Amino acid sequence: DDDIRIEPDSILRALAMNRFAKEPMLVGGQMLNLQEPSHLHIMGEMVDRSNFMWSAAPNAEYDHDFSKHALDDTDSDRSKLLHRRIDVDFNGWWMCMIPRQVAEELGQPLPLFIKWDDVEYGLRAAEHGYRTVTLPGAAIWHMAWSDKD
């Protein structure tokens, strides 16, 4: 994505996850809210096939506020979720590492940047047996889509 601030360690963590995975998988990062620095906007998402809308993936939540629930807050189930790998349907283009093998088999993503193109690629990868995950500790800073327009 061209309007993010990357956490450099996030790239290294995604590469390490890919290298140690038993099979190729798409690895993404979480979105931190650029306008509200203590907020993790999204941990990972799924697509509801009944109405084709996105929602938080199992064991994920929207808008986690680290100022209220710190990463090491052992009294909060909300904070415990932050340490899990999240299995998702797609990773937003803000941070999505696509292994070469996947790109060679499926082809490149659609050559345009509109809503749902990232979702389409994740769903297409799943149809070919490739998993998609969002990695805890890998994140970028981005304006929340709810704040755009």
Q: Judge whether residue 104 has pLDDT over 90.
A: yes
Q: C-alpha angle with apex 144: 141 to 147, nearest 5 degrees?
A: 140
Q: Which position among 72, 117, 118, 149 bears the catalytic label? A: 118
Average pLDDT, the chain: 88
pLDDT tens for each residue of 116-128 = 889 999 999 999 9
Residue percentage of the chain with pLDDT more than 70: 94
pLDDT tens for each residue of 18-63 = 999 999 999 999 999 999 988 988 889 999 988 988 888 988 888 8
Q: Judge whether residue 149 has pLDDT over 70.
A: no
Q: Judge whether residue 82 has pLDDT over 70.
A: yes
- Which pLDDT score, from 0 to 100, does residue 147 have? 65
- Which pLDDT score, from 0 to 100, does residue 49 have? 85
Token digits of residue 78: 């909300």
| Per-domain boundaries in the chain | 5-147
Q: Scan for tokens 């709810």, then name that residue.
A: 146
The strand pair at 131-142 and 25-33 is best described as parallel
Q: For residue 133, what are the CA distances in angstroms to 27, 84, 85, 93, 115?
A: 5, 10, 7, 13, 20
Q: Is 80 exposed, middle or buried (0-12, 13-18, 19+ CB in 10 A)?
A: middle
pTM of the model: 0.87
Q: For residue 124, what are the CA distances in angstroms to 69, 101, 107, 147?
A: 36, 14, 10, 29
Active site residue 118: yes
Q: Judge whether residue 1 has pLDDT over 70.
A: no
- Which pLDDT score, from 0 to 100, does residue 84 have? 82
